[in-house]
Structure 1
Amino acid sequence: MTTSFGFTVSQRASLIGGDPLKDLIRLGAQAEQSEFIDTIWVGDSLTVKPRPDAIVLLGALASLTERVRLGVACMATFPVRDPIQFALQWSSLDNLSDGRSLLAVCNGTQKAGGGSEIEGGYFGGITDPERPLRLEENIRIVRALWTGETVDFDGEFTSFRDLRITPTVQQPAPIWIAGMPAFNTKLGDRFFERVARYADGYQITTRSASVIAAAREQISAAFDRLGLPHREIPIAAYTGVAVGEDRAKTLATVGGFLDGYYGRGAFAPERLGFAGAFGSLDETVEQLVELVESGVDHISLRLLSLDTRAQFDLLVSEVLPAVAAATPIASAALQAVR
């Protein structure tokens, strides 16, 4: 098993005191120069945690890069976006990037303050319980339209006749599903059945080896419940990273970043350690090595600091080379994310 790495451009940071958006995009393009980075990701939200639009930024990155895959971690607005318009936008991105698109979708449910319910109200009154149903239907729609054939579709939320879009995707565009439901619950079972039915990959926010192992078991059980033949579902871990003098001081910096990003108190102090790999250089490398050894297929790293340039330089010049020296990680092979 070989693990590959990705880099996340956290564009919301430009709105909370971080580097200007153009500088963040240039940093994303620079990440392609690292032999250890195979994917570049951006975030997504319309009103819950506002930020510059994901598809626009991926278009910019497509023009500035040639090798890395380009993805969204995750497309939280996928259930509320118009699926026909989205199919055209994403196929255009796929053409612009010469077939390097990687779509990771999620429900985008945000219970705090009723954020996703409020957002759904701006799009015709989409409720939180509708989001997973719309996500499934929208996946079916975009995949049908990406074939380039004329499509008739009768859905619960969207119906149309004799529709064909161009351009189409250059090759079957992968769609991953992201989320971290409670395992062994009714909602959790339904989530992993969705992964088994519709996903080309699964993205989870964790750095825990035991959680990765449990997720594989959940996916396998979902195939069994559905009576579907098992197929390979690569797993990507979306995790934060920050390097400092020591773990205690780094966690304080991370806590300040997350308070600005999600709102004060969104992460309780006792939960900060689960948000990523943090600490001194040696501590950070050790935590990432543990994650690689879990057998996870891909790790997308997000800098949890407003000192973006310094943290990026540490990541590509010291952290990833040290992890590569200790574990079998991919060198720009793109093998885990196709």
Structure 2
Amino acid sequence: MHRAGRAIVGGRFWAMSASPLRRAFSCRLLVQSIMDHMNFGITLSNRAVPLGLCSVRDLLALADGVEACPALDSVWCGDALFVNRRLDALTLLAAVAGRTERVLLGPACMGSFALRNPLVFAYEWASLDVLSNGRTRLVACAGGGSSALWQAEGEALGIAAGERRRRMIENIHVLRHLWTKDNEPFVGRFTSFSNVTLEPKPVQSPCPIWLATNAQRLATAQVDSGGSEFALTRVGRIADGWMTHSVGPHGFKRSWEFILRVGRESGRDMSSFDNVLYHHINVNADKQDALADSKRFLDLYYSADYTQARLESWLTYGSPRECVEQIKGYKASGCRRITFRISTMGDQMAQFRRVIEDVLPYVD
């Protein structure tokens, strides 16, 4: 339901214009000082539109708010093809690129990466990097899972479940080949070509490709695992950065140190190697209310029935002070950035303001 530039979501209003947000954030410039130590982003809920939880205007208004807020430096969104209903990640990121100038843009993560034609995707992503003037962060992952929906998604595209990881790795090589070479042949297990030159090439050279680990089927993932050593070794050897989720500070620290060690042993300079935690947040003085609210949202969003332990593995919640302390735990573990999905059935924009005004300025 729309009314005079606003949309009713969860029984409350979301403001559509970014200009009031800019005025509200202008007094919060002090948070810029913490960005040298830990960066923060917002994950847009692109499933929320087909689920009827928000409108397209709501989603883009939140992106405008991120652009206007000095405490935030990135916008992310999830990705899959047919497993669940959502707006296409590439299309949404392109829409955000056209209305922003500062924030980084990336998928969290590109779950369909192994399923997409790598030549077409290389062209699409290079175009996005040009449109955003070099602000992309591609996060590749194999995707997949044990459910019938995941199996059907791959089968519909002629890709066996056991091929996804091998295709992901080869697709990374295809992208880097096309982005750095002209008219040179490529011979792979799944993709081969000759006499191909891609233009335009990305603005960034090299254009970063990160890897996501710990991306098991969300409803059943092992808590605090941090990812298998095999997957983490792959990150340290071939990726430009790392994304993970559903892991506590201890597991994050263990995995991060492992990745850095693998990279250095492989002869790589890891001094600028980046990471991001894909996470959720609900700020509420009543901690149990925050947890219950997030459970309602996440159960609906992911068509799941999460246990408390599972929720706590990827959710920062409670009073502002409690949220700050939880984030500090990740910061101490080596986490360099967190992207938050606002996980409430209530007023999303009010929750957004609480995050940027009552929490992030105090993570120092």
TM-score by length of 1: 0.88
Q: How does 1:15-164 map to 2 (within 5 A)?
A: 15-111=50-146, 113-124=147-158, 126-164=159-197
Secondary structure of residue in 1 paired with 2:186: strand
Contact 1:2 1:297 in 2 (8 A): yes
Alignment of 1:1-338 (within 5 A): 2-111=37-146, 113-124=147-158, 126-171=159-204, 172-180=206-214, 188-206=228-246, 208-220=248-260, 222-223=262-263, 228-232=266-270, 233-265=273-305, 267-307=306-346, 308-323=348-363, 327=364
**Counterparts of 2:44 and 2:145, CA distance in 1:** 21
How far did residue 190 of structure 1 move?
2.3
Contact 1:203–1:235 (Cα < 8 Å) also in 2: yes
State the percentage of identical aligned residues: 36
8 Å Cα contact 2:140/2:209 also seen in 1: yes
Which AA in structure 2 matches 1:66? E
Over the aligned positions, Cα root-mean-square deviation in angstroms equals: 2.0
Task: For 2:176, give the aligned amino acid.
Answer: R
- TM-superposed CA distance for 1:188, in Å, is 2.0
How far apart are the structure 2 equivalents of 1:236 and 1:19?
26
Instruction: Give the partner amino acid of 2:230.
Output: R
Give, in angstroms, the shift of residue 237 of structure 1. Answer: 1.1
CA deviation map 1:231-256 (0-9, x unaligned): 31322111110112311111111111
Question: Alpha carbons of 1:292 and 1:223: their partners in 2 closer, same or farther (altered >3 Å)?
Answer: closer
Shift of 1:297: 1.2
Give the Cα–Cα distance (whole angstroms) in 1 for the partners of residues 163 and 341 of structure 2.
Answer: 29
**SS of the residue 1:135 aligns to:** helix
The answer to which of 209-218 and 137-146 deviates more is 209-218
Is the CA contact 2:213–2:232 (under 8 Å) kept in the aligned structure 1?
no
Runs of 4+ in 1 over 3 A off after TM superposition: 220-224
- The higher-RCO structure (CA 8 Å, 6+ apart) is 1
CA–CA distance in 2 between the matches of 1:290 and 1:244?
Answer: 19
Kindly state the Cα deviation for residue 316 of structure 1 after the two structures are TM-superposed. 1.8
1:64 and 1:252 map into 2 onto residues whose CA distance is 34
Distance (Å, rounded) in 1 between the aligned partners of 2:149 and 2:111: 12
Unpaired stretches in structure 1, ≥5 consecutive residues:
328-338
Conserved 8 A contact 2:42-2:339: yes
Q: How far has the Cα of 1:148 moved from its partner?
A: 5.0
| Alignment length (residue pairs) | 317
